[in-house]
Structure 1
């Protein structure tokens, strides 16, 4: 895709946020678009958001579990940017009006204490960079009609990012084996899924390594204080107005997302 096509698609995605109306799959009009093209579209939107005052507060790794890859029909992870306006306080009403087709998934959030820049990052490097972990709920969303996405569509759409709710109990990485960390997910009191950290590339730390080594050659480092979401422990579930979602993670505690009911 040339620069004009990249800008045109980025503009349509940005407009979808404003209008609340999703757009047709990008690959319908650009069947030859590549993953590299998709990341250029994503970066174009990030530049627009930061120009409006948003701050990059971290990154997410998407599609890092077999369950999510199967659900979305893709075969590789991707990454997106977490902007300051995406973070919501737990137990506080989250405005449904800002989302188009929201789904929710439980994750462990890494909070970095030092810079982490690839290539060449190892699991040991990643572990040393993590200050603590938190239980988290990621709200994924799609500006593509009916979630009909290819890997190009989701990457271009900022890895289908929507929002983040962080729990309030920091835990040192050394105090927990994330591979074995179990999780239950309840929606309005009903158990809808169980999972474990090992579903995320064998360990959520592997997703952090993948992210650092993928971003490094692009000149992007993970900074102290950044939040990294490594991927979901379960499949994603649609959320409706008025619902409360609770993820409980062994040794990490709980995190609760409450969605408002628009008048």
Structure 2
């Protein structure tokens, strides 16, 4: 098949809706680069909005060295969040919606002011943040075995699945986000940990990167938006009947049941 922006976008939404995975498109369409992937991502955002979803923010992917090394890709990604991706606190992993869910801890911002690139610095970005939360993203991928290149993953909305935020929101002025730690607990055992410094040196750098990258595509970060700044650690599998928790230094704990 001769793939193009429209057909790749439609097939990714089909895979998501039918809960099936596939080989990366770059196996057949090596010209699918990062810019084309973002074009597909924006096209599919419009398709989501047309079917009734509401845009609530953005997410970053591959902002930590742990995630970049695992995926073999050395650039971060920006993608969209809609209300359909919100997992209410206490709900289990929605196994019936996801193909191969994996969970990672994230530092989450709620925006107080508009943030417009280019030229946004970490300091400028943080002045636009209203509150900071602990979060967990349950990532998924429409690609078999999470195998993809940059254009593939950008088109796939940076492996979006669902996300949940924790119980504690604090003003950024009272936190040192480079030192804010997260412990990852799976079935009662601590399996990984990291601090906010794992996210491009400071989560505010991820926010600045997002503002500057979105500006290239004609977008701004709006007040009230949720921003997931990227996995602090590598993601852990979330099979049925598992139990996962993310424990933050000041931002509380998040407990996620693997569901059935």
Tell me the TM-score normalised to structure 2 length: 0.96
What is the 5 A alignment of 1:96-115? 96-115=95-114
- Measured after TM superposition, the shift of residue 92 of structure 1 is 2.0
- Retained in 2: the 8 A contact 1:12–1:23? no
1:185 aligns with 2:184: yes
Unaligned runs of 5+ in 1: none
- Measured after TM superposition, the shift of residue 244 of structure 1 is 2.3
Alignment partners' CA distance in 2, 1:186 and 1:90? 17
What is the 5 A alignment of 1:41-190? 41-190=40-189
Unaligned runs of 5+ in 2: none
Q: Which residue of 1 aligns with 2:5?
A: 6
Partner SS for 1:37: helix
Moved more, 122-131 or 206-215: 122-131
Moved more, 119-128 or 23-32: 119-128
- Retained in 2: the 8 A contact 1:165–1:256? no
1:35-70 alpha-carbon deviations (Å, 9 max, x no partner): 111111111211111001101111111001111000
Question: How many residues in Structure 1 have an aligned counterpart in Structure 2?
Answer: 259
Partner SS for 2:104: strand
- Retained in 1: the 8 A contact 2:123–2:204? no
Alignment partners' CA distance in 1, 2:217 and 2:156? 19
- Measured after TM superposition, the shift of residue 93 of structure 1 is 2.5
1:58-96 alpha-carbon deviations (Å, 9 max, x no partner): 111100111100000101101110110101112222321
Partner SS for 2:192: strand
Moved more, 89-98 or 208-217: 89-98
- Retained in 2: the 8 A contact 1:180–1:197? yes
Moved more, 50-59 or 252-261: 252-261
Q: Which residue of 2 aligns with 1:21?
A: 20
Partner SS for 2:176: coil
Alignment partners' CA distance in 2, 1:166 and 1:257? 11
Q: Which residue of 1 aligns with 2:203?
A: 204
Q: Which residue of 1 aligns with 2:253?
A: 254
Alignment partners' CA distance in 2, 1:132 and 1:192? 28
